[in-house]
Structures are given as structure tokens and as C-alpha cells.
Structure 1
Amino acid sequence: MSTNGEIEAAVRAELMGDPRLPHPDEVAIAVDAGLVTLRGTVGSFAQLRAAVADARRSVGVTDVWDELQVRLLNEDRRKDAEIRGAALQRLIWDSEIPGEFLDVKVKDGWLTLKGQLSHQWQSDEAFDRVASLHGVTGVTNEIKVDERRAA
């Protein structure tokens, strides 16, 4: 069993080794018996997801509590309408996701996915596709999955 200090060091090493995180030292790490809490500010939603994934795969981590905030710098900001258009286009281009059954709402860079799909993996894929878009500060997935539609 790893000590809190060993777990914190393992998480810090994962963050420092991740090229997706340009400023890993801006992420604070607290450990309590395998539960890791991440706090601080990152430059994009993609960076937030990378930091959480890094922490989850670290030795000794049993769970991750994400308290990170996304704060876009002026040059990284995009208008909500521009983000919505890019998100819809990305969903339409993906041949595995029936994008015509989905809609995207955007408020201050935060996307909300809505619609109905036949499979959970399609919902997960839609989330992943839009989460990495430039200017996104977060994503809420409200896509309904109805496996009966697949039959």
C-alpha cells in the first residue's frame, strides 16, 4: 500500500510528463488514502481531462476528485456560436455518430449535448469529439440512449 506522499509523487510525475499540460505545476494535488483531489486552473477543457486521466492512472490512486477550473486566455477564447458550429460539424463528420440526431447548446464556452442515440458508446464518442475543441470550457452530456432503437 502506498503512502499519501508516494501517491502524490506518482501523480505529480504523471502530470509533469504529460506534454498536453504546459503548466503542470499549477495543479495542486491533495491525497487522502488513495483519493486524489486536483485543484487549480488549466488552460482548456482538454487539459482538465488530461490531468484527471493522468491522476487516475497513477499508482495507488483509488479515485480522483476534480476541482480544477478552466480559464481561457483571451487568445484562446471563441464566440459561442463559433464553438457550436465547430461542434456540430465535428459530430456530422463522424461516420460512427448519427449527428443529425444531436444538438449542441453553448454558453460561455460550456457545451451541452442533447439528442437521442441508440448506443452508449455513441454518446461517449460524441462527448469525446467535442471535448477537445478549441475554446471549450466544459461539456454536459444530456444525450438520451435508447438501446431499443438499435434493434
Structure 2
Amino acid sequence: MKTDGKIQKDVMDELKWEPILNATEIGVAVSNGVVTLSGYVDTFHKKSAAENAAWRVKGVTAVAEELEVRLPFDARLTDVEVAEKVVHTIKWHTAIPDENIKIKVTDGWVTLEGEVHWNFQKESVFNAIRTLSGVKGVSNYIVVKPMVDTTLVKDNIRKALERNADLEAANITVETMGNKVILKGTAHSWKERRAVETAVWSAPGVVAIDDQLVIA
């Protein structure tokens, strides 16, 4: 098991291997495997790189990242200017659904909110803006909500109804609108209708059901 002293040395060595970092600007302290990074860097990109470098070292159990971003005078931008750069970057990134992303900038710190269908899209937003000049930090509160798989929903309904010999799925149609499932057709009883709804809720990505089934 590594001692704290050995972990500290390894983290410092790892920081030296990062070409964009000046390791002499970053203080490293270790206690029970918890690494504390302190000091000042001039971009958020460097701050993120230092944290990633610390996590790469074997024996590190946690990273307390206390680095402060101090932008050079000629790199300082107003929040409006930073917001415009973020909006422009996201708009032209093909992997990011920019219409689903909300952006707020306060004293150079960018807060991201909204919904995407895939985790790589959430990561793409962060990676696209972390290197922008003027950005001091990023809070990524984007939520990953997968799109409803209509085929999976139908399969769930079929299996649920097949478990009940007296139920029939042939008269039920499934439509989707974003993450909402619309059920149409006829059910033989309230029991069958409830079984269909339960089956739909078990499918990933479903956030709402519009049950238009008629009891026949």
C-alpha cells in the first residue's frame, strides 16, 4: 500500500507530464490517500487537467480541488462575452442539441442545464467549452434522458399481456412524442389497461403517458 508521501511524489510527477501545466504553480498535499491541489492557474482547462492528472495516480482515493482560476488581464471577458462564445461553440458542435441547453454565466463561471439523450452529448458540451478563453469554471447540470424506444415499449406491453392469458395486445397502438408515450385502441378491462400502463412505465426514457385506451 502506498504511503501518502509516495502518492504526493507520484502526483507531482504526473503534473509535470502534463504539457499545458506548470507544476511549480500547483501545491500538492496528501492525507490518507486524499489529494488536495492548491494554487493558481490561468485557465479552467489547466484546472481540469490538473485534477485529471491527480486521479490517474494509483492510490488516490479522492481529490480536493482548491485551485483558483486567475485569468490574465488580456484574457478577461465580460459575462456577456463569455456567454456569446459558449452559445456559438455549442451551436456549431454537431454532436450537441443546442436547442435543449440553457446557459448561465456568472463572473466567468458557466452553468449548464437542460436535457440530452446520450451521455456523450453531455460530455461533449463540457469538453467544447472548458478550453474557451474567459471561462473560470463549469457546472454541468445537464440531465441525460434517453429517447423512448417505441419497439421496446411495444415489446414490454406484449410480454406483460402474454403473462395474462385473457389479455390481448393486438388492439393497442403505441405512439411516442419525445419522451411521452401515447396509447390508443381498446382494452377489455381496467385490469388490462393498468397492465399496459405498468408495462410502458418499465421502459427506459418514459416520462409521461397519455392513456387514450377505451374500455370495450
Give the TM-score of the pair, scaled to structure 2: 0.65
Matched, 1:136 2:135: yes
Greater mean alpha carbon deviation, residues 2-11 or residues 99-108: 99-108
Deviation of the 1:106 alpha carbon: 1.1
What SS does the aligned partner of 1:116 have?
strand
Q: What is the Cα deviation at residue 74 of structure 1?
A: 0.5
1:150 to partner: Cα distance:
5.0
Match in the other structure for 2:6: 6
Matched ranges for 1:97-108 at <5 A? 97-108=96-107
Counterpart of 2:58, as a letter, is: V
CA distance in 1, matches of 2:143, 2:58: 35
| Residues 1:19 and 2:16 aligned together | no
d(CA) in 1 for partners of 2:44 and 2:89? 17
Distance 1:16 1:120 in 2: 31
Q: What is the distance in 2 between the residues matched to 1:17 and 1:83?
A: 30
2: CA distance, partners of 1:103 / 1:79: 18
The structural deviation recorded for 1:113 is 1.0
TM-aligned CA distance change 1:29 to 1:42, over 3 Å: same
Q: Which amino acid aligns with 1:110?
A: W
**Larger Rg belongs to:** 2
Return the letter of the residue paired with 1:19: P
Q: CA deviation at 1:84?
A: 1.0
- 1:110-125 aligned at under 5 Å gives the runs 110-125=109-124
Distance in 1, matches of 2:129 and 2:73, equals 20
Name the CA distance, whole Å, in 2 between partners of 1:59 and 1:142.
Answer: 29
What is the CA-CA distance between 1:97 and the residue it aligns to? Answer: 1.1
Gaps in structure 2 of 5+ consecutive residues: 150-216
Change over 3 Å in CA distance of 1:19–1:12 after alignment to 2: same
Name 1:84's counterpart in structure 2: 83
Q: Which one is further off, 48-57 or 30-39?
A: 30-39
Residue 25 of structure 1 aligns to which amino acid in structure 2? T
Q: Percent of aligned pairs with the same residue?
A: 38
Alpha-carbon distance in structure 2 between the residues aligned to 1:103 and 1:70: 23
**Structure 2 match to 1:126:** 125
CA contact (8 A) 1:118 1:146 kept: yes
For structure 1, the residue ranges without an aligned partner over 5 or more in a row are none
Instruction: Quickly say closer, same or farther: Cα 1:150–1:94, change in 2 above 3 A.
Output: farther
Query: What is the CA distance between 1:103 and its match in structure 2?
Result: 2.4
Contact 1:98 1:117 in 2 (8 A): yes
Range that drifts further, 44-53 or 63-72: 63-72
Moved over 6 A (4+): none
Report the RMSD for the aligned CA atoms in angstroms.
Answer: 1.4
Q: What is the deviation of 1:137?
A: 0.3
Moved more, 3-12 or 137-146: 137-146
Partner of 2:72: 73
Instruction: Give the structure, 1 or 2, with the largest relative contact order (CA under 8 Å, sep 6 or more).
Output: 1
SS in 1 for 2:77: coil
